[in-house]
Amino acid sequence: MDITDWLAEYGYRIRLTRNIAETIADRGLPAIEASAVKTEKSTLGTREIRTSLTGHFWCSLLISLAHGLDRCADALHRVPASALGALLASDGQETCFAGLKRRIADQAVNIVWRHANPLLPVDLENAARLLRVLGVLFCIDPAAHRMAVERGLRPLAQDVLADSTEARMDRVFGAPLDPFAP
């Protein structure tokens, strides 16, 4: 499976990706232009502003947003341990949470968190994946754009790209780099 196959597998993925792209075109670009004109005291015209947003600007922006979401998702995965630490350290309750009660508290925190997770407003990992896919699709030349390869395509290798595509990437680009490196 590759990016287009992955998108086509479920219609909602296409709709979400299209919505993001249309939002960029219909609302994002005009807002950026208005802000740039205001910031630059009207010395830039629409053409100059749009020219400055060519090349790898949009794919880099989308892939960077996906990278930021990955980091937030990592922090969310640490919530139960943080909550348990706070619970165990709260108001001298440590003695109440010894032994069996501590294990029960640990289980309770994890169970409540697992059931509270769907209440969060967005699935950060899926949002990051969609932004990454869109960033790669926006890219004018992903093979020549290190960020598109390392922070866009390589993270997609786990659940979007076919094994054969990942093997070709390894042959063409060499070993994966640290996706969090600057």
| All structural domains of the chain with their residue ranges | 3-74+131-173, 77-119
Report the SS3 class of residue 129: helix
Q: Is the CB of residue 126 less than 8 Å from the CB of residue 12?
A: no
Report the C-alpha gap between 91 and 116 in whole angstroms.
25
pLDDT at 65: 92
pLDDT at 116: 77
Q: Which residue has the higher pLDDT, 19 or 176?
A: 19
| pLDDT of 119 strictly over 60 | yes
Residues in the chain: 182
Report the SS3 class of residue 121: coil
Rounded to the nearest 10 degrees, the angle between the axes of helix 57-77 and helix 124-138 is 160
Output the average pLDDT for the chain: 79
Contacts of residue 40, defined as CB under 8 A and 6 or more positions apart, other chains included, come to: none
- Per-residue pLDDT band for 177 (boundaries 50, 70, 90) equals very low
Range name among 30-34, 93-97, 111-115 with the lowest pLDDT average: 93-97
**What is the Cα 165 distance to its own chain's centre?**
21
Contacts of residue 66, defined as CB under 8 A and 6 or more positions apart, other chains included, come to: 127, 128, 129, 131, 132, 135, 151, 152, 155
Distances (CA, A) of 174 to 1, 146, 170: 21, 12, 5
pLDDT at 41: 63
| Mean pLDDT, rounded, for 143-154 | 85
Report the C-alpha gap between 147 and 83 in whole angstroms.
35
Range name among 17-21, 46-50, 98-102, 134-138 with the lowest pLDDT average: 98-102
